Amino acid sequence: MPIDTEGRIDRLLQRLHSRGLATNTTTLYSEGVKTKLRQAKFSLEKLGQLVPQEDQVQDATAGPVSQGLLNTSELVGFYCDSFWDSLRSALDILGQLVNELRSPRINERKADIKKVAKRVHLTAPSSPLDKALDELLKSSAFTQLEEYRNCSMHRRLPFIQTRTVIMSISGTAGYAYSASSQQITIVERDLCTNPWALRPKVHAGQRPVVTYSERLLQRIRGKIDTVVVRLP
For the segment 29-46, the average pLDDT, to the nearest whole number, is 98
> What is the three-state SS of the chain?
CCCCHHHHHHHHHHHHHHCCCCCHHHHHHHHHHHHHHHHHHHHHHHHHHHCCCCCCCCECCCECCCCCCCCHHHHHHHHHHHHHHHHHHHHHHHHHHHHHCCCCCCCHHHCCHHHHHHHHHHHCCCCHHHHHHHHHHCCHHHHHHHHHHHHHHHCCCCCEEEEEEEEEECCCCCCCCCCCCEEEEEEEEEECCCCCCCCCCCCCCCCEHHHHHHHHHHHHHHHHHHHHCCCC
Which of 59-63, 98-102, 104-108 shows the lowest mean pLDDT across its residues? 59-63
> What does the alpha-carbon distance between residue 127 and residue 91 come to, in Å, rounded to a whole number?
20
Please state the pTM of the whole predicted model: 0.89
Give 60-71 pLDDT, tens digit per residue: 444 444 457 899
On average, the pLDDT of the chain sits at 91
| CB environment 83-118: b (16+ within 10 A), e (fewer) | bbbbbbbbbbbbbbbbbbbbeeebeeeebbbeebbe
> What does the alpha-carbon distance between residue 125 and residue 154 come to, in Å, rounded to a whole number?
33
Domain boundaries, given as residue ranges, for the chain: 5-53+70-159+204-228
Give 210-222 pLDDT, tens digit per residue: 999 999 999 999 9
Angle (CA) 96 101 106, round 5°: 50
Give 147-189 pLDDT, tens digit per residue: 999 999 999 999 999 998 888 777 777 776 665 567 788 899 9
